[in-house]
Structure 1
């Protein structure tokens, strides 16, 4: 593809075409074969030398600038969700029961459009750009970020940047902040074991459902009494399974749920609090308990200097009105947090809503992002790359945490 001779209209039209192809052909985590092949082919057509992941469908490439210097990375996730699409779009999913309901089709194409813009400005780039198309972001608690890291795709990278579409922000606005921006997301499974008996002789059994009710009451006190009211955390039990018949004392109940936190210290302490409750139940109710805690995605914790660089660049590209002034952290989760545990960087929210139209949130079967977000995101991220490399070359310390 002759990027240099594409008009702006032609460039944007090509990216819309790509985005709609990705939207029509969604694939869930670990199954992103066609998506990966399409990305690989586009990158080859752009003159890059892409590399496939080891035992996964991730794709990486390196764009070298016109001048020597450090390396930064850009990441897009590529998987879809098991959601039956309800948008009514002419380019709706052709894969029944699977949809890009989290906007990863926009993420893929925004990164591709960013590459097009960077290729046009190659001589301005003081260093190089590692491009990451990551699979399995939705595969909690594993996450595809760790696949990319294991393959060494972050080697020599000095800073990393990424984005997520945000339906509650109108197109043309972005949100970013230093510090915790998205939640650490963990899962729990608790099995409470009692003793079965006839309901007419409850004293002969140990009621697992009653013990589960006590457990539910007590874990609600963790957030209100064991965690600082200045911190943010939530514990949600999403499923309860137990009992076999209306007139039988149940002998086993299984509860599963999620824990979301914005602080890694509280994240470490909450499992201890839950274990204390279960130890007490063993004594008070006579039950046995099995407790499994599955650590998932860490708190997405933006580094201050990269986050400020994104804000400064956004003002330059979008104007002051393009920045959301007060960005409130969200208790959804993102495995980009794994990258930020290893390398300085920042993650931003890209507005994709349309003024005056209903907001359909992430994972909603009706979600339909404004495609103008591609232009906004690619113009911003291409400038972020150029500004970040220049700052690093001039000695900026992206590794400051304070």
Structure 2
């Protein structure tokens, strides 16, 4: 089938999607008001199922928790493509005074997952209304617990076996750092490995005036934090990106008592498997050595979290073609550098070929708050654009030779 024949013309897809804009805004706002954290997406799943029922699209619920997998079958046999959206929100109180502010205290869609679900529901409506023109099958993956690092929700979706027949999978994320409406993608590494480490240094308390009678856990922790950066600056190839960040350093009970314990909590971001494995080993050796030389002890825990998002070459080409087909060449941004942020979409790409792309939502002349900000907000004009693009990506994949 030629996408330029019959209804399936690019300008018509975009037009049809724009006609759905009011509905998409309503969907997004309903999801936004009912924001729920990872593994608690009960109302969110009910809202999704309500609209799938309205669109007459069959689905399976409670997949990998509160996940939903819906299916649109075309009029002819063919390949199977999956489109994915994440469902969960973050634990933070929304600081914007808007009519559809989250009703759940200290829970907010500050990472844009409400818009991702809206993109997918919008694409689902377009695809289902024209399934007689589709060759093959589209699976719509509404995935819970993307923010549940290092576990994530994607592994349980894969364990369900419901994606075993999928030939390719695609997903997206709104991106405030990019100009509004621009779509960015790159082949290979798009986002980083994300690991979580905790180290507890254990010494012995004493009076602050008699440090020789104790073992100072704060000194051990401070030495470690300073020394661990050599794992990047001196042990990692300068051409390879890697980041070590300590987010928490908790120690001590009083100003005049030597701290018996110090807890260090942080993250490691890399792209290569070799760097990831080496830093894990070297960090443990460093912590133990510092503890030993100070006559203390340490407990080292390192959790391998989300793998790097690695986009497959031909899938990237297909996304680029879809962007140009739908919006024109000016809307496509080919980025050179990946982001050090992480995404559990990477788990799908370890099993299924596919690609992940960013949807620009930055508005010129406006204050664009970052993802995970209490003031995060997006211009809702992006909704019909994101839905149309997902639709076109699925069509292009199913109908490519």
> Which of the residues 140, 145, 150 maps onto 1:141?
150
| Cα distance per residue 1:190-219 (max 9 Å; x no partner) | 011112222222222221111111111110
Aligned equivalent of 1:275: 284
SS at match of 1:324: strand
Q: Is the 8 A contact 2:185 2:334 kept in 1?
A: no
Q: Is the 8 A contact 2:167 2:352 kept in 1?
A: yes
Q: Is the 8 A contact 1:176 1:327 kept in 2?
A: no
| Cα distance per residue 1:362-393 (max 9 Å; x no partner) | 011111111121121111111111111223xx
SS at match of 1:340: helix
Describe the shift of the 1:254–1:18 C-alpha distance in structure 2 as closer, same or farther (beyond 3 A).
same
Deviation for aligned residue 1:45? 1.9
| Cα distance per residue 1:160-205 (max 9 Å; x no partner) | 0000001122222110111111111111110111122222222222
Asked if 1:230 corresponds to 2:222, the answer is no
Deviation for aligned residue 1:52? 0.9
Asked if 1:129 corresponds to 2:138, the answer is yes
Describe the shift of the 1:9–1:221 C-alpha distance in structure 2 as closer, same or farther (beyond 3 A).
closer
Asked if 1:187 corresponds to 2:191, the answer is no
Q: Is the 8 A contact 1:189 1:256 kept in 2?
A: yes
Deviation for aligned residue 1:331? 1.1
Calculate the aligned-residue CA RMSD, in Å. Answer: 1.7
Which is worse superposed, 355-364 or 238-247? 238-247
Asked if 1:215 corresponds to 2:224, the answer is yes
> Which of the residues 98, 106, 114 maps onto 1:97?
106
Q: Is the 8 A contact 1:129 1:385 kept in 2?
A: yes
SS at match of 1:13: helix
SS at match of 2:240: coil
> Which of the residues 326, 329, 354 maps onto 2:363?
354
Q: For 1:325 and 1:345, locate their aligned partners in 2 and report how far apart those are by CA, in whole Å.
A: 17
Aligned equivalent of 1:85: 94
Aligned equivalent of 2:35: 26
| Cα distance per residue 1:113-164 (max 9 Å; x no partner) | 1111212332332210111000111111111111211112212001000000
Deviation for aligned residue 1:252? 1.4
Aligned equivalent of 2:305: 296
Aligned equivalent of 2:118: 109
Q: For 1:11 and 1:203, locate their aligned partners in 2 and report how far apart those are by CA, in whole Å.
A: 72
TM (norm. structure 1) is 0.93
Aligned equivalent of 1:398: none
| Cα distance per residue 1:327-360 (max 9 Å; x no partner) | 5311111100010111100000011222221111
Q: For 2:121 and 2:345, locate their aligned partners in 1 and report how far apart those are by CA, in whole Å.
A: 19
> Which of the residues 106, 120, 136 maps onto 2:129?
120
SS at match of 1:53: strand
Asked if 1:253 corresponds to 2:262, the answer is yes
| Cα distance per residue 1:41-64 (max 9 Å; x no partner) | 211221221111246110111101
Asked if 1:153 corresponds to 2:166, the answer is no
Aligned equivalent of 1:339: 348
SS at match of 2:340: coil
Aligned equivalent of 1:397: none
Q: Is the 8 A contact 2:64 2:153 kept in 1?
A: no
Which is worse superposed, 281-290 or 291-300? 281-290
SS at match of 1:59: strand
Asked if 1:364 corresponds to 2:362, the answer is no
Deviation for aligned residue 1:293? 0.3
Deviation for aligned residue 1:8? 5.5
In structure 1, list runs of 5 or more residues that go unmatched: 395-402
Q: Is the 8 A contact 1:264 1:299 kept in 2?
A: no
